Amino acid sequence: MPARFQEIKDWTPGYMNVAPAHLDMMVKCTACGLEREFSKEHLPRSLRQALVKDIEKRLSCSSCGAKAGKLKFGYWLREE
Ligand SMILES: [Zn+2]
């Protein structure tokens, strides 16, 4: 079974550097619904302490090209 991403609903750390290191992230395109994994390591150094909202504005979807990304915080559940 693939792992399932369990989102912490209605929660955001506000700033990226406040997000606990053990949390995983997904980015969802609110235009087409595509979801993919997101890693802080991919952020330029200048954005690692940015507001989550400011980072979302810069995310463009690899499928439809919309700049409608929404960051989701949570963790992977392994289904045994
Ligand atoms: Zn999209």
DSSP codes of every residue in the chain: ---EEEE-TT---SBGGGS-TT-EEEEEETTT--EEEE-GGGS-GGGTTSBHHHHHHH---TTT--S-EEEEEEEEEPP-
pTM over 0.85: yes
**Which pLDDT value is given to residue 78?**
85
**Which pLDDT value is given to residue 41?**
87
Total domains, the chain: 1
Surrounding ion ligand 1 within 5 Å at CB are 29, 31-32, 34, 61, 63-64, 66
- Is residue 80 pLDDT above 80, yes or no? no
Residue 27 lies in domain: 4-77
Going from the Cα of 47 to the center of ligand 1, the distance in angstroms, rounded, reads 22
Query: 1-58: per-residue pLDDT in tens?
Result: 678 999 999 999 999 999 999 999 999 999 999 999 999 888 999 999 999 999 999 9
